[in-house]
Amino acid sequence: MIRFEQVGKKYHEKNALVSNNFHLQRGDMAFLTGHSGAGKSTLLKLIMLMERPTSGKVIVDREDLSQLSRKQIPAHRRKIGLVFQNHQLLMDYSVFDNVALPLKISGYNERDSGRRVRAALDKVGLLDKEKLSPQVLSSGEQQRIGIARAIVNKPKLILADEPTGNLDPALSAEIMHLFQQFNQVGVTVLIASHDLALIQRLQHPVIQLNQGRISGPLSVMGP
Ligand code: ADP
């Protein structure tokens, strides 16, 4: 699903990633870990086409991203559900409207959109909260809204950047369990995380970044 071939990224002549290879197969779930500044966010941005590599090739869903034209970028991004640490919710929108936002942007009609939003909210256990403002919900619930919004487009791939950064261990485990559920129905999942205790417990493959280099196996296999 994701293949990096000799991928390097420099910002202003400074290396953020150096000549990395890895392969995450379709249907895998893996963690991306490493110190602050190791290059985790940069690696995720290259997959999203929010940045372009300075060298090497990034292949996602069999497409060489360097070959995609500007017009093809939205379709590429629709394959990917993004989850952030600070969930970036709109507090003056309802839970429903936050989750519906990607569908609105994609031009779905109201009926299909409503059905999809409710299916997504059901999967994260928030169906009864659709009319509320995210503001009145707990941080764990807010993160679940972020996840519902990420999966409402039925992405093939979920990328998460420190999705449990603000949560206590019990809530973090709950959020990881949700990712595992999506993975079990075939979605490929890549999660950048600092939380080594949680990562060790879950026993998924780990891509370890150290100063812009992946250490460990080049090809990451399923558990
Ligand atoms: P991580 O997510 O592991 O903390 P990042 O990918 O954010 O690491 O950063 C990797 C390196 O690239 C760091 O040295 C960081 O300072 C640098 N960097 C990241 N984004 C930019 C940018 N937009 N401009 C310049 N340097 C950047």
The residue whose CB lies within 8 Å of the most ligand 1 atoms, and thus the one to mutate among 17, 41, 159, 209, is: 41
Beta strands across the sheet bearing 157-161: 80-84, 157-161, 188-192, 29-33, 206-210, 213-215
Please give all residues whose beta carbon lies within 6 A of any atom in ligand 1, as ranges: 11-12, 16, 34, 36-42
pTM summary value: 0.92
Q: What is the pLDDT of residues 34-55, one digit of tens each?
A: 999 999 999 999 999 999 999 9
Question: Average pLDDT in the 108-129 region?
Answer: 95
Give the pLDDT confidence score for residue 125 in this predicted structure. 95
The chain-wide mean pLDDT, for the chain, equals 92
211, with CB counted inside 10 A (0-12, 13-18, 19+), is middle
Confidence class of residue 114 from pLDDT cuts 50, 70 and 90? very high
| Alpha helix (H) residue ranges in 49-138 | 73-78, 95-106, 110-123
Position 219 pLDDT exceeds 50: no
Residue nearest to atom 22 of ligand 1 (CA): 11
- For residue 122, report the distance from its CA to the centre of ligand 1, in Å: 36
- Given phi > 0 = left and psi -120 to 50 = alpha, else beta, which region is 54? alpha
Q: What is the pLDDT of residues 178-203, one digit of tens each?
A: 999 999 999 999 999 988 888 888 88
- For residue 37, report the distance from its CA to the centre of ligand 1, in Å: 5
- For residue 42, report the distance from its CA to the centre of ligand 1, in Å: 6
Position 218 pLDDT exceeds 70: no
- For residue 113, report the distance from its CA to the centre of ligand 1, in Å: 36
Question: Which atom of ligand 1 is least distant from the CA of 42?
Answer: 6
